[in-house]
Structure 1
Amino acid sequence: MAIVHLSKDNFKEEVLESKVPVLVDFWATWCGPCQTMGPLVEEIAEERADIKVCKLDVDQEPELARQYRVMSIPTFLVFKEGEVVKRDMGVMSKEEVEGLIG
């Protein structure tokens, strides 16, 4: 499944109203660790049909980053039924990211 790029316009529909778990990668283009995690996040999106994988650029959507208390990036949030159930940040292995999803 392709990565969904989030904005305030599609966040509710794509994340909060999703019927499947959603992994959201809060990132920015200038962030080195975010660039490191990018290919790994894309890999997970391609391999896992049971979840939705989204990316949210914190520079384009600072209100959403603030709302979810994203203080440093990359930050990964897992949403189930519209609620944040897991969160972690920084450079992680693929196994660690998938461990957040369950």
Structure 2
Amino acid sequence: MAYLASYSEVAPDRAEIDVMPGMVLIEFGVDWCPHCQGAQPFIEAALGEFSTLPHLKVEDGPGRRLGRSFRVKLWPTLILLRDGQEIGRVVRPANVREINELLLS
């Protein structure tokens, strides 16, 4: 799956996430967030190297249960899962290297 430009208002249930096979990258944030906007070039560049990695870009905020279930506190937060289990995360990435290190874990 290629890089996604916008955050989706529709989020999968946590139970769906927990049974996803293989590697999945979930990105939490909102389109209007300056930190999210600033990180997008880094995220897009990193995902260019991992074009087959599923990328879920989920809008977060008050009343958004999926982000709370992952204890997301700052945006953007990228969480890498393997078979539904978190294996790493990056919060407010400042460069491509941080994201690549996550994706290579």
Q: Normalising to structure 1: TM-score of the pair? A: 0.77
Task: Say if 2:105 is the partner of 1:88.
Answer: no
User: Percentage identity across aligned positions?
Assistant: 24
Instruction: Give structure 2 stretches of 5+ with no counterpart.
Output: none
Aligned residues between the structures: 101
Secondary structure at the counterpart of residue 48 of structure 1: coil
Deviation per residue, 1:65-101 (Å, 9 max, x gap): 1111101111110000111111120132111111011
Q: 1:21 Cα shift?
A: 1.4
Correspondences of 1:1-102 after superposition (within 5 Å): 1-3=1-3, 7-9=10-12, 15-59=17-61, 62-102=64-104
State the TM-score, normalizing by the size of structure 2: 0.75
CA deviations on 1:6-31 (whole Å, 9 max, x unpaired) are: 53347765x44444311211111221
Which amino acid in 1 is paired with 2:65? Answer: E
The Cα of 1:55 is off from its aligned counterpart by 1.0
Letter of the 2:3 partner, please give it: I
Where does the alignment leave 5 or more consecutive residues of structure 1 unmatched? none
Q: Deviation at 1:40?
A: 2.2
